[in-house]
Structure 1
Amino acid sequence: MKLLIVDDEELTRTGVISSIDWQSIGIREVLQADDGINGIEVARVHRPDIVLCDVRMPRLDGIAMLEQLEEILPDIVPVFMSGYSDKEYLKAAIKLKAVNYIEKPLNPVEIRDAIVEARDLCLEKKRTRQNASIHSMENASRLALLLTQPFAHAKESIDQLIAELSLSISNTTPFTAIVLKTDTEEELPLSEANAMFLSVREFLKTFHIDCIFAEKRVQYMVYFLFGSTPGAAVRKSIEEFFCNLYSRCTRFCIAAGDTVTGISRAYQSYTSAVISLQSSFFFPTGTFLSPFYQAPVSETAAELSASPENEFLTLLTEKNKEKAKAFLDNLFLYYNQNQNILPNQAKDLYYKLFRALDNAARQLKLTLSDTQENLIDTLEKIFSYNEMHQKLVKKTEIFFQTAVSTEEENSTIFLIKDYIGQKYMNETLSVKDISDHVFLSTSYVCTFFKNETGQTLNQYLTEYRMEKAKQLLSDPRYKITDISSRVGYSDGNYFGKSFKKYTGFSPSEYREKMS
């Protein structure tokens, strides 16, 4: 807590400061000013909680100073001191809700007791204001959530909340919804979410705009802006502010809806923002889409064929690297910043293209080191089109590198490796399972595999699992406790020991090293 001492006598100020152990009564910082005008300036900058001030001072007396300070710091608690027993000053001090009025010569015990009383009152004021603020924010959040559904469904509740919040809203008040999506899977701490909302509200005041806010389904934040219709320059400032505010998130996208008139149409603004947000999948993370946003039109992208996945499969099996690259380049131009396609349409095609890569590898008897598992789940979690496309480009590059750098494997070795690639996450996978799959005896498969590859089957399986674990550890979305079971280990401790033996690091050390 901060204390400001305002007195035109330096000896009085230094004497008060030195006579009391301020830390013991919760005062962490003591500030000084030599008259009322300087006291106001110090208070503007440092925002003290308590002010101990002389009544009579040159330029601006203590009463006049406190009257101005109450407008800047409504919760400030005053304590007056004076050498004059003036009833008029005492009346003014009482009107300003001074905690105490201390006469000079000053008694350190009286000062200490007065400041302790002021401290307690200040804390009570803060608690009351904080509780009122929390209640107000909870109501504002409830109102924002109600506006994400048709107005007729919740008209009475909406009207009641508007009245409780004392919001100035009429039938002509403009509303604009802003919906934000992040890649977080954990709810923001309440204090952080509230702090971000308050910073938005404070920023918008400059443009005579107010807002309400709600968090929806963890990843989504919804703001409703109302009060005035922003012009182009103000819209640009608002967009930049939101992007800077949420830059703490690894990945995010933002969309604004149409500006509508009246709270009864706020839902229409929200739905248009949601529709726009779907298109954000095809834009770089951190993009702010609004009804005024015009994506650049690509003049170089050709239309896709009727069956792109079959075209891609043919190029792969023919080992036509140049045409496969041209195919991927055109694919990117077609989808990137395309506002006329739904994300699931693109994900459906990319699922088929990833499958085409796996099918081509099987036809050519190639073993890809990054064989995809749970492809549907992987695509579902992908945040942006660019991320999805780069995964396909990377796997295609691995395909052609493998095709060029490795000789065609013995068909039996290929079948063994392919089977391990499909079943490695099963803890019970055994040499017998593998030998049954290729219709050979267990002893023959072990000898044959060692002669062909230089590794035992168990060595290859362990190495394969450890490499998979390394891939998963490099992705922060996967918890270390879950990774062991994903690579075929039900015992987390045994997995940790095996991983350290293989890499020289524990799983947590490896993740830290990769971050």
Structure 2
Amino acid sequence: MYKILVVDDEPRASMGIKSFLLASDLNIAAVETALNGFEAIDYLRMETFDLLITDIQMSRMSGIELMETVCMEQPGLPVIVISAHEKFDFAKRSISLGAKEYLVKPVERDDLLNAVARVLQEKEEIGRKTLELSRRQREEEKEADEAAGRNELLLELVTEGNLSGKDYEDLVARLGEEAKDRYFGVMSIRLDLSRAGFSRREIALRDRKLLKYAAINILGESLAEWNGVVINGFGNELIAVIQLCDQELSGQRVGAKPQSHLIGQMIHLNLKQYLNVDATVGMSSLHPNLLMLPKLMEEAGKAAEWSGLHPGNRAACYEDIKPQAALNIVDWAAKVDEYVQGLKTGLDRPLPVETKPILRALEELGDSEELFNSYFGMLAYRLYGLMLEFGPASGISLQRFDPDVYFRQTAGVRRLALLDGYIQEAAERVRLSVKEREQTILARITGYIRENFRNPALKIQNIADEVHFSPAYLSYLFKRQARKNIWDYVTELRIEEAKQLLATTDKKRYEVAYEVGYESPEHFGRMFKRYAGVSPAEYRKEGQGGAG
């Protein structure tokens, strides 16, 4: 059943169209009429319609302006334009704003109904196609989820460094893996996706994802002999987990380190041969305990980084480069910057924030006091700079967060123990600062609305321009902070003002309507009853609002 909104400043015209539509066999459940664009916008913000039929030339707000607002707020709503003018400019502008039909007055009944039928049928067809597409996507996603289930469990084992014994047993049981007599290794494969193919052509960003999936397939086949599982990592990284049994490491084939070298070189050569993609491969040591996978992942990452810095060594084992794997100052600075950026972009996530990876990296430097102090200072002052960037919250000074003050008379392990709390407080300070800033902006928004809600021409763009936001972000921010739609707030102010006028003055209904921002007394009456539960006359008669 369809619901249609008809907008025309000639009541006879809109009521005639309404009668035609309701008497047709088009499965139309309801037709609402509006006398002008502002009244129509109120309807569209309060209710859901399947079609808008509007005149072009109307007082106060033209049909073109109404369509512009619809394009911004409800871009999927189909529109039919009815105009007394055959001017090409009107038709061209209407079509550019998405009008499905442009009819010239006087409109024959059959022409109107045929146009409405076409538009509704097109809308229904789009809806069916959307539902079918959604159904197919859900089926494909379900199949992909089932196929990726094992990889997700393995990824959890690889990336989670603090699994309990019960979690470990549960994940291993769900994987169906028999860990006995098997050694596990992790590989980090860093792909150069900028150029590939036998022509070594430059690969566009949109095609790199496909190239990465092709690489996953090649690696899956290459590592099948070692029961390899390939996981899609971040950016241009692929992660592979291999499994070697005792026999493969006992001398019947080759030793552990030569075996890893062999696999790494094979991966590099296969990617080069089939995709002409350059790659660096980092291989961890081997270990029989699945709980060591997070540690092996770190080893593979360090080996891949080392390999990337040494172009002559496309595949490197962690055991070979362990002496050179200590974190250098450039890597640490990048790690600190990445961590702080993560704090800034994760302000909506619940506290406490994750600190284990960054603290673990510092803890591994414990043998070198000079290096530890240098790296510790870089992190602490970067966090302090983050707090200064967002400013103090609730007017509280940030002086006590100066690392020289906060960590005074502490060193080594004691200083590291304080760092977790420092990070948590820094995150909380930044969150409070952002919240206070948003509340200040909300006060500006509500203040502007309170000054201008009586203006019937008030638009969301006017409010957005006041705070220099886009209309979409303005709506998002207002709803998040105020817990209500911005137009609900505008209407509530208008209705509350109307209640006050009805209770304390003798002004007629049309005078109250005009004063609070409604051009049509009838529309004001409908809106008032929707919010107050009674008509304006009933409200005044019953003495609501505190007036006897």
Q: Confirm or deny a common fold (TM above 0.5).
A: no
TM-score, scaled to structure 2: 0.28
TM-score, scaled to structure 1: 0.30
